[in-house]
Amino acid sequence: MGYCTKCGSELDSVSGKCPQCPPHHDAGASSGTPSKHRNKLFYSIGGLVLIGAAAHFMIDNYTSSERMIENFQTAVAEGDVNEVKRHLSVKGDDTNVSTEYVEDFIAYLNADSYIRSDFSGFIQDHLQFFENTSAAGAPGFYEPPFDLQFLSLEKSGKQFLFYDDYSFYVEEYPMLISSNYEDVAFQVNGEEVEATQQRDGTYWLGDFPAGHYDVTGTLDFDHGEASLNNEMPLLSDNSQFTMDFHMEYFHLTSGVDNLELYYNGENTAEEVSKNGLEFGPVLLDSTDELHVEGEAPFGPVFSEPEEVGGDTYFTFHVKAEEDVVEDAMKNLKTEVQAYDDDSYHSGYDLLGSVEVYPETQWLYEENDTWFLMLDVDEIRHDYYNETFEMHEETFPMSYTFTFNEGEKEWELHTIESLHFTDYVSGDGETIEIKSPEALQKEVAEIQKDVEEGFLNENLHYFFEEFLEENVYAVNTGDTYYLESLIHPDAGEYKKEAFEYMDSLYERNITQSIDALEIRSFEQQEDGTVIVNTAETYSIYYDYDSAKIKSFDSQYEVKNTSTGLKLVKLVETTETSSED
């Protein structure tokens, strides 16, 4: 039994022909059932449909403009250089940009919150365009943000024959630079470029993709070359930059004659002297350096290289080698001790040590004599009037030495006070003038002299006041002010003295003090002071007669928190009496 391969009907058992098909059809026999053949056909067609749908989904997903834009934005935010580079090209060139350019491009878009916000808006605008229009990319009237004028998204070709491909493009702009000098050589990002001078005097360095570029301009002149370096943001087609060379002539002077001038380490064959030298032109505010070198009877002299600043008048700070300063300091202790300290100091002070700062040395020459100046700190011990105690103080000074060519040594010439202590800096070298033991002994002696001097002065003030109040109490009977000058422990003396004053007052005996001399005083360990005086009085007896009398007296006084107070009159002796 067989079946028709055309329609599936059962064939005639005798003729083997299909009764349903036309006679000319030669139906082939097929083993199996019709339903099995239909199932195979159905599954085959279904499988092809599924495979086609999956392939379409994958290709559509891969080529989706919206997905590409979102992936590009994510890659920029995450710094994915390879992903950004895959979708970024130079407009009109269609070549992918370099890895270095992509790195700078990503850095620019992430530089600050404003640019990040503008880039996010740029992306959202294009997503809206693809969603709402069938046309590829942004419409012709679209104006990108100001800081993204160089960036666009455009159709770049086909993928898989049927699907549109899109890329982000950066514009190329001409790099134009104006300068106040001709024949300037330029480098862009370290690479030499051939600059063409335009009619308006600007230099065209070529067309570059929008971005930031490191541009160096070099100008040759008599003494070398001057270079300027700037970072230039080439972000629009109207960018034009200025690179002006501010060249000036310098007036150079020195305290020493016939010094060779060096520019950036090269000998210029020019000499700097005390009268000055006009040198140039030199680029102002650059890293170029100037220094001088020369010879002196004690060895080479020089200045440290210094960068050219904005001041066109410049004086070189000439120095000597370190061993020259060490030679000057060898006899410094003897020289300072022999110097007349009183010529620049007053009062009680002792020089204990000197802190010398070798890096402050300054050499100059005058009338064939070499001078070496050094900044120093003198560590002296002085006193304060308020406390009667010695204190250590620092005095900024300037020591000037002269070079004795016959003896081949430095001698101390002058010592002057420094009013600007900022000049003294760095690490100093200490030279001891007096040992700590000798210094301590002298300090103690001076402190004793100072204290005795102040005590003597105070004793004069006290006894002048005390004797005046004593006379006032005798003449008026008023002892109120006198009591404030008597020690609280002087009760016995006060009683006797006041009784004596009352008796004089009752007898109308008055007096005045004519002279007072403190002949000596001695301070006891308990703070009591024994004072010997000579006093002269005019004494009037009931207005009828008068005498001039002198007395030698000894008093005992004591210092208290409120000043000196009289403890007692130890003794008094009348030494003369005249009518």
- CATH for 568: 3.10.450.50
Closest-CA residue to 568 (of 536, 538, 529): 529
Q: Specify whether the CB–CB gap between 402 and 368 falls below 8 A.
A: no
Residue-by-residue DSSP string for 249-291: EEEEEESSSSEEEEETTEEEEEEE-TT-EEEEEEETTSS-EEE
Residue 234 included in any domain: yes
Residues 312 and 351 in one domain: no
Give yes or no for residue 322 having a pLDDT over 70. Answer: yes
Last residue of a domain, one of 320, 354, 376: 320
Average pLDDT (443-457) is: 80
Task: List phi, psi (to 5°) of 545.
Answer: -145, 170
Residues 455 and 571 in one domain: yes
Residues 316 and 327 in one domain: no
The pLDDT of residue 27 is 46
Max avg pLDDT among 83-97, 116-130, 405-419, 508-522? 508-522
Give yes or no for residue 474 having a pLDDT over 90. Answer: yes
Cis bond before residue 305 (omega within 30° of 0): no
Question: Which range has the worst mean pLDDT, 64-73, 284-293, 495-504?
Answer: 64-73
Nearest-angstrom CA–CA distance, 17 and 262: 119
Residues 206 and 313 in one domain: no
Give the total residue count for the chain: 579
pLDDT tens digit sequence for 255-305: 999 999 999 999 999 999 999 999 988 888 778 899 999 999 999 999 999
Residues 316 and 332 in one domain: no
Residues 410 and 495 in one domain: no
Residues 198 and 84 in one domain: no
> Is the CA virtual torsion 323, 329, 330, 331 positive or negative?
positive
Nearest-angstrom CA–CA distance, 505 and 169: 120
Neighbours of 164 (CB within 10 A): 13
Residues 286 and 228 in one domain: no
The pLDDT of residue 321 is 94
Q: Specify whether the CB–CB gap between 349 and 384 falls below 8 A.
A: no
Last residue of a domain, one of 303, 320, 337: 320
Using only the alpha carbons of the chain, give its radius of gyration.
54
Residue 335 included in any domain: yes
Task: List phi, psi (to 5°) of 116.
Answer: -60, -40
Residue 21 included in any domain: no
Give yes or no for residue 56 having a pLDDT over 50. Answer: no
Band of pLDDT at residue 75, cut at 50, 70 and 90: very high
Residues 236 and 251 in one domain: no
Nearest-angstrom CA–CA distance, 554 and 556: 7
Average pLDDT (174-185) is: 91
As given in the structure block, the two tokens for residue 11 are 């064939």
pLDDT tens digit sequence for 212-233: 999 999 998 887 788 899 999 9
Band of pLDDT at residue 31, cut at 50, 70 and 90: very low
Tell me the pLDDT of the chain averaged across its residues.
83
Last residue of a domain, one of 403, 434, 465: 434
The pLDDT of residue 277 is 95
Of the chain, the percentage scoring pLDDT greater than 70 comes to: 81
Helix ranges (DSSP H) in 484-533: 491-506
The pLDDT of residue 284 is 82
Find the domain containing 122 and state its range. Answer: 64-141
Band of pLDDT at residue 247, cut at 50, 70 and 90: confident
Cis bond before residue 300 (omega within 30° of 0): no
Q: Say how many domains are in the chain.
A: 5
pLDDT tens digit sequence for 366-425: 999 999 999 999 888 776 555 556 678 888 999 999 999 999 999 999 888 887 655 555
Residue 23 included in any domain: no
Q: Which pairing describes strands 289-296 and 259-263: parallel, antiparallel, or unpaired? A: antiparallel
The pLDDT of residue 384 is 58
The pLDDT of residue 422 is 53
The pLDDT of residue 406 is 93
Residue 8 included in any domain: no
The pLDDT of residue 158 is 58
Q: Specify whether the CB–CB gap between 415 and 339 falls below 8 A.
A: yes
The pLDDT of residue 528 is 93
The pLDDT of residue 340 is 44
Q: Specify whether the CB–CB gap between 173 and 160 falls below 8 A.
A: no
Residues 514 and 430 in one domain: no
Task: List phi, psi (to 5°) of 435.
Answer: -70, 155
The pLDDT of residue 29 is 46
The pLDDT of residue 576 is 95
Residue 92 included in any domain: yes
Band of pLDDT at residue 346, cut at 50, 70 and 90: very low
Residues 456 and 571 in one domain: yes
Nearest-angstrom CA–CA distance, 299 and 277: 24
Residues 541 and 505 in one domain: yes
Token look-up 């060895």 returns 299
Nearest-angstrom CA–CA distance, 347 and 342: 9
Nearest-angstrom CA–CA distance, 527 and 174: 96
Of the chain, the percentage scoring pLDDT greater than 90 comes to: 51
